[in-house]
Structures are given as C-alpha cells and as structure tokens.
C-alpha cells in the first residue's frame, strides 16, 4: 500500500514537481495525494494541477501571527485526504512545536546547504562568504528548531571561485531534485529509523566515490 503524501508549497514548487514526477512511477512507495499552498498565487499550484494532482489553498495571511489557528485549518485538510507523510517544498511558514510534534518522524524538509552548516536564509551567500569548496542540499526531518532536524540524505556539488549565489543555487537545485524523491522513497518504504537526533538508514552503505574540490591537475 502506497503511503499518502501531502506536499506543502508557497511558491514555484520545483521540488514539488520533482516529487510528483518520481511518485508517478509504479514502483514508488508513496503517492502524492494533495498539494497544499498557503498562498493562492503560488505558481506551483498550476504545475500540480497540470500533473493531475489535487490542490488546496489554505491561506495563512488571514491568521496573521496566530500560527495555531492556521494549523487547525491545515490539519483539517490533511485529515480529509488521509495524509500519512508531509514534504515541505518551499513552504514559507513556521509551525508551532505542537504541530511539529504531531508529525514527528513523518514530515520532511529540504534545505540548500550541507546542514548543519548555513541554516536559515541566504544559504548560498553564506557558503560563498565562508569560502567553502563544497556545498549541497540536505533532506531532514522537521523539528521545532529551524533547519535542525535529523538528516536523512545529503547531496554535494563543488563550489567554484567564479560562482555567484545564483549559479551555485542552480547547481544545487539539480541535487535537490535528485535527493528529495530518493529520501521520500526511503521514508515511505520504512527504510529509515530515528535514534534521538540521528537518522539511520536500513542496510545503507557509503558511496564508493569521492567529491573533491578544487581538483588538482596531474
């Protein structure tokens, strides 16, 4: 039985699109039951509709700072669609600790840095200002602290001396689109377990290759 997934968006939904495409495969262990946006003008809603996925808008603006009130309305939609897992994909709304706890171990987010480095806003700018040679993306479980939950999967890219925040973002986005579906596959198929703050993968093995940057010529 495929796990029922809700994707929460606030904008263009590029990671949403990658998840929907992956879930269309017959052997994928999850189905995208609904895409929910807290903004009626989110471009991702049209993409989801064209892909045949049901969409719902739960406007957050009328609730102002009353996060719990918004979450009651959101939870009603999740219940209606019998949702088992949540994927945040550019969802620009903070949750209360109560909501996060309710979905503990069942809600994923993706962040464009190699957490725990560069959480929060402008991760690409943070990476460039720090002068790192490798950056990437992280899929993690959501906890009350921002970008701080147990790490499920990461992917890396090299950072060039000529990179801008925009060019680095473009390359990392390609990594995001690869690892988010893979991470959901692992979770939906029961291949991960949480041990405190650590996420472990059943029968996992390290990749046999290295990513080294910069590369020194022969």
Signed CA dihedral, 135, 141, 144, 148: sign only: negative
d(CA 41, CA 74): 17
Q: Kindly report the CA angle at 11 between 52 and 125, in degrees rounded to 5?
A: 135
Q: What are phi and psi of 14, to 5 degrees?
A: -70, -40
**DSSP state, residue 213:** S
d(CA 31, CA 19): 9
Beta-strand relationship, 107-111 and 85-88: parallel
d(CA 136, CA 157): 5
d(CA 105, CA 194): 7
Find the catalytic residue in 66, 81, 104, 111.
111
- 81 carries an active-site annotation: no
d(CA 191, CA 82): 22
Catalytic positions, written as ranges: 111
């Amino acid at each position: 039985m495929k796990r029922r997934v809700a994707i929460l968006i606030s904008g263009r939904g590029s990671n949403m699109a990658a998840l929907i495409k992956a879930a269309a495969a017959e052997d994928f262990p999850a189905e995208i039951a609904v895409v929910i946006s807290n903004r009626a003008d989110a471009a991702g809603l049209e993409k989801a509709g064209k892909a045949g996925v049901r969409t719902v808008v739960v406007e957050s603006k009328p609730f102002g700072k009353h996060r719990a009130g918004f979450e009651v309305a959101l939870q009603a939609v999740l219940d209606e669609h019998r949702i088992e897992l949540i994927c945040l994909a550019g969802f620009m709304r903070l949750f209360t600790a109560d909501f996060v706890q309710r979905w503990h171990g069942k809600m994923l987010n993706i962040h464009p840095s190699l957490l725990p480095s560069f959480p929060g806003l402008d991760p690409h700018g943070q990476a460039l200002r720090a002068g790192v040679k490798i950056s990437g993306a992280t899929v993690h479980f959501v906890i009350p602290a921002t970008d701080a939950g147990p790490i499920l999967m990461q992917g890396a890219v090299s950072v060039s001396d000529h990179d801008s925040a925009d060019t680095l973002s473009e390359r990392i986005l390609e990594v995001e689109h690869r690892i988010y579906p893979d991470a959901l596959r692992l979770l939906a198929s029961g291949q991960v377990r949480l041990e405190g703050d650590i996420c472990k993968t059943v029968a996992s093995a390290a990749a046999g290759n290295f990513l080294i940057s910069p590369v020194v010529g022969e």
